[in-house]
Amino acid sequence: MAHFAKLDENNIVTHVSVVDNWNCVDGDGNESEAVGVAYLQSIHGDDTNWKQTSYNGNIRKNYAGIGYTFDVDRDAFISPKPYNSWQLNETSCQWEAPTPMPDDLTEEEVNNGTRYVWDEDTTSWVKQTPA
């Protein structure tokens, strides 16, 4: 199965479709993004814009989701920015907090559901224990 993201006029993902592999194979038996795009355009209209994506990140850095942006220059799908203070990692095209999340939770805390959450007001990670 191949996956394709439908883009709007601003390169925002509006839909993700699954396409059978045989609908993406060229005349030589090789998988082809262009063949998959042509197949989808035959269903959804010639004026639709599609880019292939993959669950494992082998194509365009990240699996596309609705609301993601396709960055033409990076040839990558980028999720919406979660917080103003976070910066884009140019290699992975994923957002990163200004400070790494602590990894000091004890096994008991993890088993009890304790986790760290980002607090944008203090631009820091805060330990959150379930009620």
The overall average pLDDT reported for the chain is 96
**Which H/E stretch holds residue 107?**
helix 107-111
Q: Give percent of the chain above pLDDT 90.
A: 95
Predicted pLDDT of residue 65: 97
Which tokens hold the place of 19? Answer: 């396409």
Nearest to 5 by CA among 16, 23, 78, 35: 16
Rounded mean pLDDT, 102-131:
95
DSSP 67: T
Give the tens place of pLDDT for each residue, 6-57.
999 999 999 999 999 999 999 999 999 999 999 999 999 999 999 999 988 8
- The answer, yes or no, to whether residue 131 has pLDDT greater than 90, is no
* φ/ψ of residue 124, rounded to 5: -150, 165
CA separation for the pair 64, 109 (Å, rounded): 33
Task: Give the pLDDT of residue 19.
Answer: 96
- The per-residue pLDDT for 56 is 87
> Per-residue pLDDT averaged across 75-97, rounded?
97
What per-residue confidence (pLDDT) applies to 109?
Answer: 95
How far, in Å, CA of 68 to CA of 81, rounded?
9
